[in-house]
């Protein structure tokens, strides 16, 4: 299967308050739309301007637009400098559907 990558602006929100914590550049790659467990597989990387290690190793709401949002867990990927890059793990069951990816 050919991979598909999309880049979109998004926001990280606090889970309990829904306050915006950071604007992020989101790079989502669809790796496998028909895996053995029948769930699509994605590689998701978030980039935030500046040095922001305090956002790592926590759960958030990732908001991609007014209709696409869900819970994620992020960890730092690499060494932060002028920007901080995170590996993002999609936690919400709503991410198991391909429809949200195709509407980006």
CA dihedral 65, 66, 68, 72 (to 10 degrees): 80
Quote the CA–CA distance of 19 and 63 in Å, as a whole number. Answer: 11
Cα dist from 22 to 46, 61, 68, 102, whole Å = 10, 11, 17, 24
Mean pLDDT of 11-17: 96
| Rounded mean pLDDT, 5-25 | 96
| Confidence at residue 66, expressed as pLDDT on a 0 to 100 scale | 77
Please report, for the chain, the start and end positions of each structural domain, with discontinuous segments joined by +: 4-102
How many residues belong to the chain? Answer: 104
Residues 40-81 pLDDT 10s: 889 999 999 998 889 999 999 999 987 899 999 999 998 878
Both structure tokens of 24 = 């992020």
CATH topology of domain 4-102: Immunoglobulin-like (2.60.40)
Which residue, 35, 36, 38, 46, is CA-closest to 73? 46
């Amino acid at each position: 299967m050919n991979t598909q990558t999309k880049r979109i602006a998004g926001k990280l929100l606090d889970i309990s308050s829904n306050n915006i914590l950071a604007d992020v550049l989101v790079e989502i790659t669809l790796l496998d739309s028909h895996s053995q467990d029948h769930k699509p597989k994605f590689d998701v990387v978030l980039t935030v301007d500046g040095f922001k290690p305090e956002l790592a190793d926590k759960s958030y709401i990732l908001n991609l637009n007014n209709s696409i949002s869900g819970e994620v867990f992020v960890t730092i990927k690499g060494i932060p400098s002028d920007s901080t890059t995170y590996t993002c793990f999609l936690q919400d069951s709503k991410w198991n559907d391909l429809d949200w990816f195709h509407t980006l």
